[in-house]
Amino acid sequence: MDFAPNVLGDPPARRRPPPGQAAARTRQEEHVPISPRRSLVLAALLTVAAGSAVPATAAQADRAIQAVQPDRGCTGPIKTATIMTVEPCDGMDRVLTKAAAVVPRPGQLAWQQRPVTAFTHFGMNTFTDREWGSGAEKESTFAPSAVDTDQWMRSLKAAGVTQVMLTAKHHDGFVLYPTRYTNHSVVASPWWVSPGCTGADAARQAAQASRTQDPSAFWQARDAGCANPRGDILRDYVDSARKAGLKVGVYLSPADGAELPASFFADEVKRVEAKVAAGQPLSIEEQATYDDRAGAPQGQGRYGTGSAVKQRTIPTLVPDDDRAAALAAGKLPRFSVTEDDYNTYYLNQLYELFTQYGPIDELWLDGANPWRDNGISENYDFTTWFSMIHALSPDTVTFAGPAGVRWVGNESGQARTTEWSPLPMSGDPNTAHNEELFLGGATATDLGSRQVLADPSVRYLQWAPAESDVSIRPGWFFHPDEQPKTAAQLVDLYRRTVGRNSSLLLNVPPGPDGELAPADVAALAAFGKSVAATQVDLAQPRPGDKAVAAVTDGSLATSWTPPHGALAGTLDVPLAKPATFDQLRLGEDITRGQHVEGATVQAEVNGTWQTLGTVTTIGYTRLLTLSAPVTTNHLRVVITQARATPYLSTFALYRTVPPAA
């Protein structure tokens, strides 16, 4: 099975700012062409076929998300799909009809029904007090006294979080689980061995001696004795999450400082030392290199080397690999790929994650290629990565992947006031990090309006809901001199993200003691209590009012729509008794698409109709916060403009309960 190559380049690099650094500095454009030379041949049974049509039903689409609905002749019927093409012969009316027919697959729908995910940045940077690591840090630096993942989950669940996501590998390349493919992991750290035990010393010394030649040396010594039963951070994390009833996501950074060639690192040290001597300021990456200038990258030097592209097998077995029997018996799938060394390394780690720690509900990867401007970059093979992810775990939603989720465009927790999920794209979302394909880029103010849909460069339409990432602290990793946001600030972030048709990805970093700080825990608890207490629906329909009952019953499956399939109309909402509220919630039945382009909510107060608020998009959730409480027993929702027949599924009235101080 051959897949089209990515010729569109990599997306902007994701940069985490150091403490006090402006958020505007967190992104930098990086464009690195990917050579048209790779294909993925699956020796396992695949559920998709390149070029086949996306099925009309969302359930079928979930099993074939990488297929695209082709349009034959620009005249045939338009069926609902998660991804579809836009043809040169399509007129604007047809493009608009197609956009209205783009719907989420079930995995995306389930993801959108989990409005708050917690990000957990924990790793080498936690112990160096930095935001960016060099990859030259010794594994001995990672030495927590304890790691209480149960405490993490209790605290996060109290905040109303329904999914959690761990940085299994950040840009420095240190891995939080016992991977077979690099020695730069928890297995080589003091954390892996119980304190005071010397029974594994000989095996670990032998692993250290052979680590340069054998990336699996420490993995082979993992059971040599004295193993800490809590040594596998990722295993503890996913087990604690599932015990708490939370879904699980994993972040696996494509950028990997530990895999930089030693010669490149040495040249970087010289360059950075020259800048220091000249009194020039250093970037966050350069500072990490300078701090670790006496060391060297701790991996195998596979990143950006231009290594031979040749046929490989995923998983690539290592000596004494414990999966050999299962593979021989056909109990685990094999994949034949054509890759360079680094892409093979990354694919092998993806395979470990999905076959050992699944189910993984969200896979998060950015497109950072942070050393490009200094002369080295890696051609990430997103086409093959996405294909293998889907083959191993069709239900997983992948950040910036096909039929996945997308970055909102900033790291400050602010969604757009007009936030579309069905978006036009300039290329096939199966073949590139999707941030590169949005017209105007992922940070554009307008991603999905009629004006953008009319752009002649549009070639695809895709359901791509927004995810808004922000940290509870100024940095992404824990720093003892920083303080968390207040509960009131978190409530405001919730309104500006979840309330604008996005999810909230809230980072809460544990400290070196392996726990979430008390101040963070208190803010999370107060935030969660405030949101839960606020969202008690005060809209009680009159008995027998089926239209109002359909939008107040809490079900996405019931909705109100204007008569005769009209594109505009008014939902009259008489209440059984007066309600006093200062917040309204609207929502569309997004299983039918996102259609509303304009709506107004009005209330009858003392015999006079007053406009409470006007919105453009609604999507899955739209919150309107009023400047002062209103008391009424009669409201109406006026849909003023829509792309197709609107289906309003949610109408709720809330009275804000501020968080406790």
d(CA 501, CA 249): 20
Q: Which positions ≥6 away from 373 have C-beta within 8 Å?
A: none
Q: Edge to edge, what strands does the sheet with 310-314 contain?
A: 40-42, 335-339, 310-314
Read off the pTM: 0.90
> Domain 1-119+152-173+236-251+311-373+383-534 is classified in which CATH homologous superfamily?
Glycosidases (3.20.20.80)
Q: How confident is the model at residue 67 (pLDDT cuts 50, 70, 90)?
A: low
Report phi then psi at 541, rounded to 5. -70, 155
In this predicted structure, the answer to whether residue 225 has a pLDDT above a threshold of 90 is no
Q: How confident is the model at residue 69 (pLDDT cuts 50, 70, 90)?
A: low
* Interval 558-572 mean pLDDT: 97
pLDDT of residue 131: 97
E strand or H helix that includes residue 163 = strand 163-169
pLDDT of residue 582: 98
In this predicted structure, the answer to whether residue 491 has a pLDDT above a threshold of 70 is yes
Lowest mean pLDDT among 59-63, 146-150, 295-299, 498-502: 59-63
Quote the mean pLDDT of the chain.
90
> Domain 546-654 is classified in which CATH homologous superfamily?
Galactose-binding domain-like (2.60.120.260)
pLDDT in tens, 387-445: 999 999 999 999 999 999 999 999 999 999 999 999 999 999 999 999 999 999 999 99
d(CA 459, CA 268): 41
Q: How confident is the model at residue 73 (pLDDT cuts 50, 70, 90)?
A: low
Select from 300, 298, 314, 309 the least CA-distant residue to 350: 314
pLDDT of residue 59: 41
Report how far apart the first and last C-alpha atoms of the chain are (Å, whole number): 59
Secondary structure letter of residue 195 according to DSSP = T
pLDDT in tens, 328-385: 999 999 999 999 999 999 999 999 999 999 999 999 998 888 999 999 999 999 999 9
Q: Which positions ≥6 away from 22 have C-beta within 8 Å?
A: none
**Which whole-number Å values give the CA distances from 27 to 278, 303, 423, 439, in the listed order?**
26, 21, 22, 17
Question: Domain map of the chain by residue range?
Answer: 1-119+152-173+236-251+311-373+383-534, 546-654
- Count of C-beta atoms within a 10 Å radius of residue 659: 21
pLDDT of residue 43: 42
Quick check: do 1-119+152-173+236-251+311-373+383-534 and 546-654 share a fold? no
pLDDT in tens, 7-64: 223 333 343 333 333 333 232 222 222 233 344 444 443 333 222 222 223 343 344 4
> Is residue 178 classed exposed, middle or buried when 0-12, 13-18 and 19+ CB atoms within 10 A define those classes?
buried
Return the structure tokens found at 330: 């056909």
Quick check: 164 and 155 in contact, CB under 8 A? Answer: no
- Count of C-beta atoms within a 10 Å radius of residue 536: 11
d(CA 180, CA 380): 21
**Which whole-number Å values give the CA distances from 454 to 88, 94, 495, in the listed order?**
11, 11, 31
In this predicted structure, the answer to whether residue 198 has a pLDDT above a threshold of 90 is no
Q: How confident is the model at residue 70 (pLDDT cuts 50, 70, 90)?
A: low
Q: Are strands 406-407 and 466-471 parallel, antiparallel or unpaired?
A: parallel
E strand or H helix that includes residue 338 = strand 335-339
pLDDT of residue 55: 27
Greater pLDDT, 52 or 207: 207
d(CA 185, CA 219): 9
Report phi then psi at 521, rounded to 5. -60, -40
pLDDT of residue 74: 82
Share of the chain above pLDDT 70, in %: 89
Residue whose entry in the numeric block shows the structure tokens 């070029």: 51
Secondary structure of residue 353 in the 3-state scheme: helix
Within 535-603, residue ranges assigned H as helices are: 546-552
